């Protein structure tokens, strides 16, 4: 045991030395490389080998295009990587995977044409709806992401148990939309009698948690089977409408879990921010326990150290990913004498620590340390994922929110449903805190944020306006506003710059050689602001007009300059000009329609591994307009 303490002590010393050498380092966890999830099994979309034989409505293509003026229509190009369904007369079959599944986690991208309809059927029985729900204000079970209803002719009404998504997270037709779904199959006893209903544990659409622990009592309407079984194939509906998929990947899970056994907990007084040799501390108590929890600390406002020792039951040999989070304290997990995860010191610990290790089946001695050195903060989380084992908790309440989901309802929500609202504050943009922003909310449910420090539009979203609990309730650490909709993050660099030519590097901040002035904003009769800035004496104004209740925002830029100015409209992994003249940004994340009445034409260029969309604005008094659609 003394070697365990020595190992931990040396680890702490190494950590402290690393902080002295790298003062900018903000976290203290030690990992070989950052792995946040175990690998998925990717579907092979070079062909249809991962599926059972299919009808001719299913094909593999290389590119797809949707015109917003056409209904249920795709234009495609030959190639691989996209699974496309175009039903027609005599060819409208569903598609089934070649494998069957019990519990499953699946991720995929889907593209819906205008007014199209399809569905994802788990075990061929339980449906998550696919639909073009872009313009829907109040989603129902039949909108994208809904748990589709069951159907029984003998009931009134015949359709029942459908569940609408919490929020309409749909994007515009022709954009790629991302699903992540965790499904738990129904459970059966040895006699084949069902003992537990199927559950959609989590359904995420475009980053929003739209369902959680939603039970399904039986096959939903349109299922391929009327009964329920422990196993079944994954199915995609093919007879309702055109639909395209890419990046399909899954994990198949058994019902095993990692667990703790024969656990004893010791509690010590400890005010140090670093984990000490607890043999030298005053031990307050020692007990046997069947739980591992921060709640076991005596006195929520105290400073204590909890040490859990016992056996970790590893159900199968393979790679295991551990994930740990501390709420303003410290902690460590050791297996035998090897440190698996270490969070140590006086840090915010805003990000979790991850560690991938290979474990052998059986019982492994473990030590789990929780250092509650901050009086008014309590909690830690410990998760694990393994071979055929879904991510699950090893702690009990209270947990620490490892990956906060976007909030939909809150006591601190700014309402913009009746008038245009402006809110200054802090926002996170691509992991950087922006401290000089104004968010503008519109009664048309189209909102945006403008960074005064850069003179740039940094994000747009639809739905509810802004959640401000961190700003108004207790003045939390981050003090952030949070958009309550589908945020599209724009590039975030300065929007305007003077370049020598179209190949010059775009600045990521206002250059020191540039005289930049923020001239404030003026409000029109409806409360909409027009922002004004100066670059080296050139005046630039920006105004924004929400278009109807659709997720579209029109931008109007006016310039007065003695020399040409370049404007960066967008950047992303892929920018392409579509056949209808609209630009698809960041691999079909959003559309940008650059109006035909503008005097200049944007150029697409490569820079630092990304595509950038730039336009040169001539000298003099100029005006350009374009529309962002998402």
Q: What is the mean pLDDT of residues 205-234?
A: 95
Are residue 388 and residue 473 in the same domain, yes or no?
Answer: no
Q: Tell me how far CA of residue 253 lies from CA of 203, 257, 350, 575, in angstroms.
A: 17, 10, 29, 37
Is the pLDDT reported for residue 6 higher than 50? no
Contact of 369 with 332, CB cutoff 8 Å: yes
As a whole number of angstroms, the distance between CA 355 and CA 431 comes to 22
Are residue 345 and residue 265 in the same domain, yes or no?
Answer: yes
Q: What is the DSSP letter of 13?
A: H
% of the chain at pLDDT higher than 70: 91
Is the pLDDT reported for residue 32 higher than 70? no
Residues paired with 188 in a beta bridge: 194
Residues paired with 170 in a beta bridge: none
Residue 481 lies in a domain: yes
Residue 351 lies in a domain: yes
Q: What is the mean pLDDT of residues 503-508?
A: 93
Is the pLDDT reported for residue 347 higher than 70? no
Domain boundary among 206, 231, 253: 253
The confidence band for 408, taking pLDDT boundaries of 50, 70 and 90, is very low
Are residue 82 and residue 69 in the same domain, yes or no?
Answer: yes
Residue 340: its pLDDT value, please? 86
b/e string for 211-241 if b means 16 or more Cβ within 10 A? Answer: beebebebbbbbbeeeebbeebbbbbbbebb
Pair of tokens at residue 566: 């370049």
Q: Tell me how far CA of residue 114 lies from CA of 1, 125, 135, 488, 580, in angstroms.
A: 66, 26, 11, 21, 15
Are residue 238 and residue 261 in the same domain, yes or no?
Answer: no
Residue 36 lies in a domain: no
Are residue 200 and residue 264 in the same domain, yes or no?
Answer: no
Residue 596: its pLDDT value, please? 73
Is the pLDDT reported for residue 1 higher than 60? no
Q: What is the mean pLDDT of residues 286-303?
A: 90
As a whole number of angstroms, the distance between CA 570 and CA 509 comes to 15
Give the three-class secondary structure for 21.
Answer: helix
Residue 401 lies in a domain: no
Question: Going by C-beta distance under 8 Å and a sequence separation of 6 or more, which residues neighbour residue 259?
Answer: 312, 313, 394
Half-sphere exposure in the Cβ direction for 161 (13 Å, CA): 15
Of 506, 480, 505, which is closest to residue 494 (Cα–Cα)? Answer: 506
Residue 94 phi, psi dihedral angles, 5° rounding: -75, 160
Give Cα 147 distance to the centre of its chain.
20
Are residue 46 and residue 26 in the same domain, yes or no?
Answer: no
Residue 624 lies in a domain: yes
Give the three-class secondary structure for 49.
Answer: coil
Are residue 108 and residue 206 in the same domain, yes or no?
Answer: yes
The confidence band for 402, taking pLDDT boundaries of 50, 70 and 90, is very low
Q: What is the mean pLDDT of residues 8-18?
A: 36
Pair of tokens at residue 265: 């907990």
Residue 411: its pLDDT value, please? 64
Pair of tokens at residue 99: 């494998």
Residue 398: its pLDDT value, please? 59
Give the three-class secondary structure for 566.
Answer: strand
Residue 476: its pLDDT value, please? 54
The confidence band for 272, taking pLDDT boundaries of 50, 70 and 90, is confident
Residue spans of beta strands (DSSP E) within 336-455: 338-343, 353-359, 362-372, 380-386, 389-393, 413-414, 421-429, 432-441, 446-451
Residue 589 lies in a domain: yes
Taking only the tens place, the pLDDT of each residue in 162-171 is 999 999 999 9
Is the pLDDT reported for residue 346 higher than 60? no
CATH number (domain holding residue 158): 2.60.120.560
Residue 67 lies in a domain: yes
Give the three-class secondary structure for 11.
Answer: helix
Tokens 């992991």 sit on residue: 431
H or E, element range at 628: strand 620-629
CATH number (domain holding residue 494): 2.70.98
Give the three-class secondary structure for 347.
Answer: coil
Please tell me the least confidently modeled range out of 23-37, 95-109, 115-129, 383-397: 23-37
Contact of 433 with 418, CB cutoff 8 Å: no
Is the pLDDT reported for residue 497 higher than 50? yes
Are residue 221 and residue 270 in the same domain, yes or no?
Answer: no
Residue 10: its pLDDT value, please? 35
Domain that holds residue 217: 41-253
Query: Which carries the bigger pLDDT value, residue 9 or residue 600?
Result: 600
Taking only the tens place, the pLDDT of each residue in 113-135 is 999 999 999 999 999 999 999 98
Are residue 182 and residue 285 in the same domain, yes or no?
Answer: no
Residue 404 lies in a domain: no
Q: Tell me how far CA of residue 275 lies from CA of 278, 299, 380, 410, in angstroms.
A: 8, 19, 15, 37
The confidence band for 359, taking pLDDT boundaries of 50, 70 and 90, is very high
Pair of tokens at residue 188: 């059966």
Across the beta sheet with 610-617, what order do the strands follow?
Answer: 496-497, 565-572, 610-617, 603-607
As a whole number of angstroms, the distance between CA 251 and CA 41 comes to 6
Are residue 370 and residue 422 in the same domain, yes or no?
Answer: no
As a whole number of angstroms, the distance between CA 144 and CA 117 comes to 9
H or E, element range at 9: helix 2-21
Please tell me the least confidently modeled range out of 153-157, 164-168, 170-174: 153-157
Please tell me the least confidently modeled range out of 118-132, 270-284, 303-317: 270-284
Taking only the tens place, the pLDDT of each residue in 58-100 is 999 999 999 888 888 898 999 999 999 999 888 889 999 999 9
Instruction: Please give the radius of gyration of the chain, using alpha carbons only, rounded to the nearest integer.
Output: 27
Residue 23: its pLDDT value, please? 28
Are residue 325 and residue 230 in the same domain, yes or no?
Answer: no
Is the pLDDT reported for residue 350 higher than 90? no
Query: Which carries the bigger pLDDT value, residue 133 or residue 600?
Result: 133
H or E, element range at 506: none
As a whole number of angstroms, the distance between CA 106 and CA 121 comes to 12
Domain boundary among 361, 393, 425: 393
Are residue 613 and residue 501 in the same domain, yes or no?
Answer: yes
Report how many domains make up the chain.
Answer: 3
CATH number (domain holding residue 340): 2.60.120.1560
Residue 477: its pLDDT value, please? 59
Tokens 């990956």 sit on residue: 403
The confidence band for 431, taking pLDDT boundaries of 50, 70 and 90, is confident
| Beta strands 552-561; 620-629: pairing state | antiparallel
Residue 412: its pLDDT value, please? 86
Residue 513: its pLDDT value, please? 87
Residue 289: its pLDDT value, please? 94
As a whole number of angstroms, the distance between CA 429 and CA 431 comes to 5
Residue 292: its pLDDT value, please? 95
Is the pLDDT reported for residue 590 higher than 50? yes
Residue 274: its pLDDT value, please? 86
Contact of 388 with 315, CB cutoff 8 Å: no
Q: What is the mean pLDDT of residues 527-537?
A: 96
Is the pLDDT reported for residue 490 higher than 50? yes
Q: What is the mean pLDDT of residues 292-309?
A: 91
Residue 603 phi, psi dihedral angles, 5° rounding: -120, 145
Domain boundary among 393, 423, 446: 393
Residue 425: its pLDDT value, please? 93
């Amino acid at each position: 045991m003394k070697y365990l303490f020595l190992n931990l002590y040396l680890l702490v010393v190494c950590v402290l030395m690393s902080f002295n050498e790298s003062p900018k380092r903000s976290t203290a966890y030690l990992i070989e490389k950052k792995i946040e999830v175990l690998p998925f099994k990717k579907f092979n979309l070079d062909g249809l080998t991962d599926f059972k034989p299919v009808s001719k409505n299913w094909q593999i293509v290389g590119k797809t295009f949707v015109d917003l003026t056409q209904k249920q229509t795709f234009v495609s190009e030959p190639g691989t990587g996209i699974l496309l369904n175009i039903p027609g007369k005599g060819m409208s079959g569903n598609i089934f995977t070649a494998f069957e599944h019990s519990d499953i986690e699946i991720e995929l991208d889907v593209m819906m044409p205008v007014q199209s309809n399809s569905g994802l059927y788990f075990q061929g029985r339980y449906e998550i709806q696919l639909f073009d729900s872009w313009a829907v204000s109040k989603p129902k079970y039949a909108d994208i992401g809904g748990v589709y209803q069951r159907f029984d002719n003998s009931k009134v009404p015949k359709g029942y148990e459908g569940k609408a998504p919490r929020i309409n997270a749909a994007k515009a037709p022709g954009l790629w939309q991302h699903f992540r779904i965790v499904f738990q199959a129904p459970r059966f006893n040895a006699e084949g009698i069902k003992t537990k209903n199927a559950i959609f544990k989590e359904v995420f659409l475009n980053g929003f948690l739209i369902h959680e622990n939603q039970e399904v009592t039986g096959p939903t309407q349109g299922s391929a089977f009327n009964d329920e079984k422990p196993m079944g194939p994954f199915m995609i509906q093919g007879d309702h409408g055109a639909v395209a998929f890419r990046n399909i990947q899954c994990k198949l899970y058994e019902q095993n879990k990692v667990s703790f056994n024969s656990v004893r907990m010791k509690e010590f007084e400890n005010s140090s921010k670093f984990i000490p040799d607890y043999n030298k501390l005053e031990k307050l108590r020692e007990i046997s326990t069947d739980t591992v929890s921060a709640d076991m600390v005596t006195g929520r406002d105290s400073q204590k150290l909890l040490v859990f020792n016992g056996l970790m039951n590893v159900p199968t040999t393979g790679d295991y990913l551990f994930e740990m989070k501390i709420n303003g304290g410290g902690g460590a997990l050791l297996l035998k004498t090897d440190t698996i995860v270490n969070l140590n010191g006086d840090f915010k610990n805003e990000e979790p620590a991850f560690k991938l290790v290979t474990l052998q089946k059986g019982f492994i001695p473990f030590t789990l340390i929780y250092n509650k050195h901050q009086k008014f903060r309590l909690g830690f989380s410990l998760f694990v994922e393994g071979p055929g084992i879904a991510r699950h908790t090893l702690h009990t309440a209270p947990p620490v929110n490892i990956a906060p989901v976007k909030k939909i309802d809150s006591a601190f929500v700014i309402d913009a449903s009746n008038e245009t609202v402006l809110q200054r504050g802090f926002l996170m943009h691509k992991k950087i805190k922006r401290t000089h922003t104004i968010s503008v909310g519109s009664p048309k449910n189209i909102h945006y944020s403008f960074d005064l420090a850069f003179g740039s539009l940094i994000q747009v979203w639809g739905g509810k306006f802004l959640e401000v609990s961190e700003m108004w309730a207790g003045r939390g650490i981050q003090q952030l506003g949070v958009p309550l909709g589908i945020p599209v993050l724009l590039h975030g660099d300065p929007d305007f710059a003077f370049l020598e030519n179209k190949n010059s590097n775009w600045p990521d901040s206002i250059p020191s050689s540039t005289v930049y002035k923020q001239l404030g904003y003026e409000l029109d009769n409806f409360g909409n602001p027009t922002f004004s800035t100066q670059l080296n004496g050139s005046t630039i104004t920006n105004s924004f007009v929400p278009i109807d209740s659709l997720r579209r925002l029109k931008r109007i830029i006016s310039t007065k300059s003695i020399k040409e100015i370049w404007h960066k409209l967008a950047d992303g992994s892929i920018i392409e000009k579509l056949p209808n003249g609209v630009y698809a940004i960041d691999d079909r994340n959003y559309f940008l329609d650059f109006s035909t009445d503008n005097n200049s034409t944007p150029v697409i260029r490569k820079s630092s591994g990304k595509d950038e969309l730039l336009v040169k604005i001539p000298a003099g008094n100029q005006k350009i307009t374009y529309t962002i659609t998402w």
